[in-house]
């Protein structure tokens, strides 16, 4: 429930920021004051006010906060838009079918953290990630390293690809082995 003194209390953006600040201050020395210095704010209390809902989170700080506090930038951006400009969020939802919440948002955030932790991705990995994002059906066509070995053995034996009858035999043999 909001009050005149806490107009943004109870918003998803305030809750996300509050949780992220608690996580950050438990992992880094200096608390909010040190964090304020990192992100170029003069007063650490402003961060506290944003987290409690006393003041809104500025849209122009979303990217920076998300990066420093290890927040899912997409989810945090939508939460801040919802907090500051609810009509704009409604427009985004109706025109662009933007989802504000999903069962996989934690999973997405974890995946993004894994990708960031990898530090270096090859151009092939980046290309594959982009292709999967663009074509949801592609994930059913991606193979593991061990599966790839089998495919390469087939390609080495039949550079032009097996004929239809051979595919049927290979499929039957695989079915027999896996049964």
Task: Check whether residue 156 and residue 131 sit in a common domain.
Answer: no
DSSP string of 32-98, one letter each residue: HHHHHHHTT-S-HHHHHHHHHTSSPPPGGGHHHHHHHHT--HHHHHHHHHHHH-HHHHHHHHHHH--
The structural domain count of the chain equals 3
- What domain range includes position 129? 103-142
Per-residue confidence (pLDDT) for residue 112, from 0 to 100? 66
> Which residues does 137 contact at the CB level (< 8 Å), separation at least 6?
none
Per-residue confidence (pLDDT) for residue 104, from 0 to 100? 57
pTM greater than 0.95: no
90 within a domain of the structure (yes/no): yes
Per-residue confidence (pLDDT) for residue 141, from 0 to 100? 62
Task: Check whether residue 89 and residue 119 sit in a common domain.
Answer: no
33 within a domain of the structure (yes/no): yes
CA-atom Rg of the chain in angstroms: 24
3 within a domain of the structure (yes/no): no
CATH code for position 87? 1.10.260
Instruction: Report the chain's mean pLDDT, rounded to a whole number.
Output: 81
**Residue 6, SS3 per DSSP:** strand
Per-residue pLDDT tens over the stretch 138-155 = 656 666 777 777 777 777
């Amino acid at each position: 429930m909001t009050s005149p003194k806490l107009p943004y209390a109870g918003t998803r953006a305030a809750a996300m920021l509050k949780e992220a600040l608690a996580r950050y201050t438990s992992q880094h020395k200096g608390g909010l004051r040190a964090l304020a210095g990192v992100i170029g704010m003069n007063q650490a209390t402003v961060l506290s006010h944003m987290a409690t809902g006393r003041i809104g989170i500025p849209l122009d700080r979303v990217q920076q906060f998300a990066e420093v506090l290890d927040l899912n930038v997409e989810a945090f951006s939508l939460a801040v838009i919802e907090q500051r400009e609810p009509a704009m969020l409604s427009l985004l939802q109706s025109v662009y079918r933007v989802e504000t919440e999903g069962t996989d948002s934690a999973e997405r955030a974890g995946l993004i953290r894994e990708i960031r932790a990898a530090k270096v991705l090859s151009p092939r990995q980046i290309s594959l990630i982009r292709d999967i994002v663009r074509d949801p059906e592609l994930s059913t066509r991606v193979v593991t390293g061990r599966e790839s070995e089998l495919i390469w053995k087939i390609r080495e034996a039949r550079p032009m690809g097996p004929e239809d009858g051979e595919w049927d035999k290979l499929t039957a043999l695989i079915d027999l082995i896996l049964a």
